[in-house]
Amino acid sequence: QTVVTQEPSFSVSPGGTVTLTCGLSSGSVSTSYYPSWYQQTPGQAPRALIYTTNSRSSGVPDRFSGSILGSKAALTITGAQADDESDYYCLLYMGSGFWVFGGGTKLTVL
Amino acid sequence: EVQLLESGGGLVQPGGSLRLSCAASGFTFSTYAMSWVRQAPGKGLEWVSGISGSGDTTYYADSVKGRFTISRDNTKNTLYLQINSLRAEDTAVYYCARDRGRVTAAPDYWGQGTLVTVSS
């Protein structure tokens, strides 16, 4: 069974840039996996950030961007702010109606 | 404004059953696929099940296939998840989410979730 991989944790300085990645235990992520990204703070529902690789959801600032970097999907946050400190999850489409989340990345801004 | 309101969670014994509901408003319900996503305490998100806008196509994660049944009533703008043969590992917050497309797509809007606790 294919596992979707993410960095367990990452840290960034205020104002800095960070790139989180989303890979596969076997194979490469491409646009055919329709990668999407979600932000979640403790006790809250997830918030959609990016869909179909690089499209921003309504209301999401352009500090957040999505792409394919090498064999992985990537979420880049530029000009990191304190309230970007959250858990970030990627979601990949595996075909036949099935979706799989990555394990999530806990981002610290300090 | 898109709103999704889950209900039906609670404490249930192992082997028991529960039906979760999700009341939707603020959009044309029948034109969107819907999903259920769960999150065990302190753990990550897990996609559980999806259903097309018309309700004629359903999808399940392997971990719940045969025990969970997703359905919808487009006349009542309500999504359901019937959960049978509950196990301790089904303990989680269950989120209802609207997908971006009519058949299957990544979710865009999420409800606040309903907690299911499986314990004797």
What tens digit of pLDDT does each residue of A37-91 get? Answer: 999 999 999 999 999 999 999 999 999 999 999 999 999 999 999 999 999 999 9
> Distance (Å) from the C-alpha of residue A90 to the closest C-alpha of chain B?
10
Give long-range contacts, CB 8 A cutoff, 24+ apart: A63-66: A64/A37, A66/A35, A66/A37
Q: Which of A57, A89, A99 sits opposite B44 (nearest CB)?
A: A89
- The overall average pLDDT reported for chain B is 96
Whole-angstrom distance, CA of residue B68 vs CA of residue B79? 13
Q: What is the pLDDT of residue B84?
A: 97
- Evaluate if residue A1 carries a pLDDT over 80: no
- Per-residue pLDDT tens digits for B77-92: 999 999 999 999 999 9
Q: State mean pLDDT over B37-64.
A: 96
Tell me how many degrees the CA angle A47-A53-A54 measures, rounded to the nearest 5: 80
Q: Which of B47, B50, B108 sits opposite A48 (nearest CB)?
A: B108
Check CB contact under 8 Å for B107 and A40: no
- Cβ atoms A11, A107 nearer than 8 A: yes
Q: State mean pLDDT over A84-100.
A: 96
Size of interface A-B (CB pairs under 8 A): 60
Confidence tier at A2 by pLDDT (50, 70, 90): confident
- Evaluate if residue A104 carries a pLDDT over 80: yes
Question: Is the CB of A60 inside 8 Å of chain B's CB atoms?
Answer: no
Q: What is the pLDDT of residue B104?
A: 83
Place of tokens 């009542």: B76
Q: Which of B45, B59, B109 sits opposite A101 (nearest CB)?
A: B45
Q: State mean pLDDT over A3-22.
A: 97
